[in-house]
A and B are shown apart, each in its own frame.
Chain A
Amino acid sequence: MPDRRTFIRGMSTAAAGMLIAGAARQMGAQTRPAGGRRQITIGGRRVKTIDIHTHVYVRDVIPLLRNVDIGGTVKSAASGTRGNRLTPDFLDAESVRWMDDHGIDVQARSINPYWYSLTDRALATKLIAVQNAALARDCAKFPGRFVGLATCALQFPDLAAQQLEEAVKTHGMPGVAIAANINGEELGSERFDPFYKACVDLGAAIFVHPQGEGKFDGRAYPKGFADRLRGMGNLGNVIGYPTETSIAFGSLIYSGTLDRFPGLRVVGAHGGGFIFSYSGRLDANCEFSEGARKRCAALKKKPSDYMREQLISDSLVFNPEELLLRVRQYGVSQVVLGTDHPAPWPTTGVDHVLETPGLTDDEKFAILGGNLSKLLRIPQFEATT
């Protein structure tokens, strides 16, 4: 795999007009007008690349957070002390230049939920209204380049449903970003059904992103898990995140949420976590014991089948084998581009997909843009089937 630093250096704007693709690399044909956007074409077709997994904040919420002990990350981002980001956490021309350099046409930007522990309903109402309006306004400054994923106060499910409706109808948002648990409550809880119903009614896709080992501003869930992930290896991120996402997807499967809402579509960050590359054990377990048989008998499908339709994985798995596993096992419709921008992963985003051996041109097209065109209703440059 290409080294990130080498790659970023090679893609710098100074080198505008030059292609750094090595002859040996299976890069798609690219054209890059001087000073312009890197254009990705696959098999002669220009693909509009759409990235489901990118992060953002809006400054407009800062005054509302002044007297509450939440939002530590947005506050540090706003004060410029967060550090370690490829571009600032706020939408601006620098973000767009980065996208141009890296061949990303559209980013779906999401705000990682930091407000689930708020018990003040009035404040949660105000915060989300301000936040969604600001996100929509910032996206609109760069037409065609960004869509905002709605934020919702899911600790109040009925309120969250209203917030989503407003975000979709007023701001044209195509989906919603949520965490892998809601302040310690699993996603499969029936309490959230009104929210899921709104998602289906409004045709809004859900993007699930874990929060540092299940933490919301210091509240770890469950107690003690972070203790096991201490030591070397960044394990809170490397193991904690995919564990969170696995539990979230497991909860949506086994609690029957996905059966109750067949129209629900949920995209999991970081390749959907461990569960997407270890589902054989879930299926086999359905025949293991009486308890497991009952648990599975209550479902309409076998556990892995949910990953063939309603549960979707982003492409951020960092190596070709794990990407290919998802395509082979669940079908190419279940994998979509995700980069985690502006998190400084040594990943090449679009090129990771272009360079994965064993993927056909049609599969690359689907992963890089085709699938999300359908899910987020963002038309491709040319109508495709």
Chain B
Amino acid sequence: MQNRRQFIKYVGTAAGAFVAGSGFLAGCRRGEQTGRRQVMIGGRRVRTIDTHSHCFVREVVPIVKGQEWASILLSSDAGTRGNRITPDFMGSERVAWMDEHGVDVQMVSINPYWFVGERGIVSELIPAQNEALAANAAKFPGRFAPWASVALQFPELAAQQLDEAVKKYNMPGAAIASNINGTELGSPALDPFWAKCVELGVACFLHPQAEGGQFNNRRWPEEFNERLAPIGPLGQPLDTAIGLAHMIFEGTFDRFPGLRIIGAHGAGFLPSYVGRADSSCEWTPKGCGPLKKKPSDYFREQIIIDSLVFDDHELRLRVEKYGVGQIMLGTDHPAPWPTKNVDDVLGNQFLNDAQKEAILSTNALKMLKIPAEA
């Protein structure tokens, strides 16, 4: 694991002098009360972009009030959700946390809670939600780049919603789940939506829903959580693996070569356990269909991997196997992981300065629409 002295040498602030914090997160550096921690690598200021952070917007509460499927949003709004580092909304408390931890830009996303909603209500909900995301982000210029919400259970509608979000609010793409209320991501029904992503030149951020593909207590498959619940947090990377596997093997990535998907939590199990998929296609080619590439090759281009794997070796494998250009910072803020965020990347004993800069900043700046620094 990382050596504290090693990463401290990468850390600087505009103000210079600062005092080490002794807060919840070991290894954090505290900037001056008013200043932002400036992340420096090799003497250069690096603008850090976090592709994986969560939020809600309160503006939609009147629309979804009383809907059981909106219970996560409603409990956040009521302040009863608990166990978050900062509130689930864009606001000054969150910006202060970002300042302290050297996160310049958060690409916030709203985990889809509406995939079970009917067409009428989601047609009202999504435009209001995207408008509010844009408005809340605009209060802190240059600090937030929200992923659009889309009602992917209605793919044509989702394509329109994405079109509006990108053209009206300049959003970088859409936040999606690893299955759409039980429809796997490889389903051709979703093709109109993928076509729109490619047409607009935007990416998708793929995040699993709770353990085992759950939407507000709707578990899929039923009983699976019972097997996973006693043994730690394996449901999310499993759900991500299933989602990405279907996109690979059902030919989604082949049909849409321009499609780019960012997978949360290091893109789940597959990047560090893909050899079996590759070999299986050699063993039983007819089971794999006419893929254009080996399964692992999709992680070298179309699938992008966030850095949230909590272990230097697991991040190193992803960099070495797929190329550093495929990795982007992800923190999961405000989920209360014992992670050091940018310092997990800065302190990784196996990465050089250029790799760290690529992961923390330049990959996202090159590939995604990130608003300019204010």
Question: Closest 4 CB pairs between A and B?
Answer: A224-B221, A280-B311, A250-B231, A318-B275
B279 contacts across to A, CB distance below 8 A: 318, 345-347
Additional 19 contacts, C-beta under 8 A, given A228-B213, A284-B337, A321-B321: A227-B221, A228-B184, A232-B186, A232-B289, A238-B245, A242-B273, A246-B234, A247-B234, A254-B231, A255-B230, A278-B234, A282-B234, A287-B337, A287-B338, A289-B83, A304-B311, A318-B279, A322-B273, A346-B282
Does the CB pair A232–B288 fall under 8 Å?
A: yes
B169 contacts the other chain (Cβ, under 8 Å)?
no
B300-337 vs A, CB cutoff 8 Å, 1 = contact: the mask equals 00000000011101100100110000000000000111
Does the CB pair A232–B224 fall under 8 Å?
A: no
B222 contacts the other chain (Cβ, under 8 Å)?
yes
In the bound complex, CA of A384 to CA of B217 (Å): 56
Does the CB pair A224–B338 fall under 8 Å?
A: no
Does the CB pair B336–A242 fall under 8 Å?
A: no
Residue of A nearest to B221 (CB): A224
B311 touches which of A239, A241, A288, A329 (Cβ 8 Å): A329
B238 contacts the other chain (Cβ, under 8 Å)?
yes
Does the CB pair A224–B224 fall under 8 Å?
A: yes
B257-283 vs A, CB cutoff 8 Å, 1 = contact: the mask equals 000000001100100111111111111
B237 contacts the other chain (Cβ, under 8 Å)?
yes
A325 touches which of B242, B272, B335 (Cβ 8 Å): B272
List the one stretch of B61-69, B246-254, B365-373 in contact with chain A: B246-254
A231-243 vs B, CB cutoff 8 Å, 1 = contact: the mask equals 1111101110111
In the bound complex, CA of A224 to CA of B242 (Å): 14
B274 contacts across to A, CB distance below 8 A: 319, 322
A278 contacts across to B, CB distance below 8 A: 234, 237, 266, 269, 272-273, 309, 314
Question: Which of B220, B238, B278, B337 has the most chain A CB atoms inside 10 A of its CB?
Answer: B238
Known: A278-B237, A280-B311, A346-B279. A224 touches B220 (CB 8 A): yes
Residue of A nearest to B269 (CB): A274
**Interface positions of B from 208 to 255, Cβ below 8 Å from A:** 213, 220-224, 226-228, 230-234, 237-238, 241-242, 245-246, 248-251
13 interchain pairs (CB within 8 A)?
A186-B227, A233-B248, A233-B249, A241-B276, A250-B231, A251-B230, A274-B234, A279-B311, A283-B311, A287-B337, A288-B336, A303-B232, A317-B273
A9 contacts the other chain (Cβ, under 8 Å)?
no
Does the CB pair B280–A234 fall under 8 Å?
A: yes
A322 touches which of B248, B281, B317 (Cβ 8 Å): B317
A229 contacts the other chain (Cβ, under 8 Å)?
yes
In the bound complex, CA of A289 to CA of B337 (Å): 9
B287 contacts the other chain (Cβ, under 8 Å)?
yes
B241 contacts across to A, CB distance below 8 A: 239, 274
Chain B interface size, under 10 / 10 to 19 / 20 to 34 / 35 or more: 35 or more
B284 contacts the other chain (Cβ, under 8 Å)?
yes
B339 contacts the other chain (Cβ, under 8 Å)?
yes
A223 contacts the other chain (Cβ, under 8 Å)?
yes
Minimum CB–CB distance from B332 to chain A (whole Å) comes to 10
Does the CB pair B278–A284 fall under 8 Å?
A: no
A295 contacts the other chain (Cβ, under 8 Å)?
yes
Minimum CB–CB distance from A85 to chain B (whole Å) comes to 12
**Interface positions of A from 87 to 138, Cβ below 8 Å from B:** none
Minimum CB–CB distance from A188 to chain B (whole Å) comes to 8
In the bound complex, CA of A232 to CA of B187 (Å): 11
A33 contacts the other chain (Cβ, under 8 Å)?
no
In the bound complex, CA of A292 to CA of B338 (Å): 12
Does the CB pair A288–B230 fall under 8 Å?
A: no
Minimum CB–CB distance from A313 to chain B (whole Å) comes to 11
In the bound complex, CA of A262 to CA of B66 (Å): 52
A228 contacts across to B, CB distance below 8 A: 179, 184, 213, 220-221, 242
Question: Which of B221, B275, B278, B335 has the most chain A CB atoms inside 10 A of its CB?
Answer: B275
Does the CB pair B287–A232 fall under 8 Å?
A: yes
Minimum CB–CB distance from A221 to chain B (whole Å) comes to 8
Minimum CB–CB distance from B212 to chain A (whole Å) comes to 9
Does the CB pair B222–A232 fall under 8 Å?
A: no
In the bound complex, CA of A111 to CA of B220 (Å): 32
Does the CB pair A234–B287 fall under 8 Å?
A: yes
**Interface positions of A from 179 to 226, Cβ below 8 Å from B:** 186, 188, 221-225
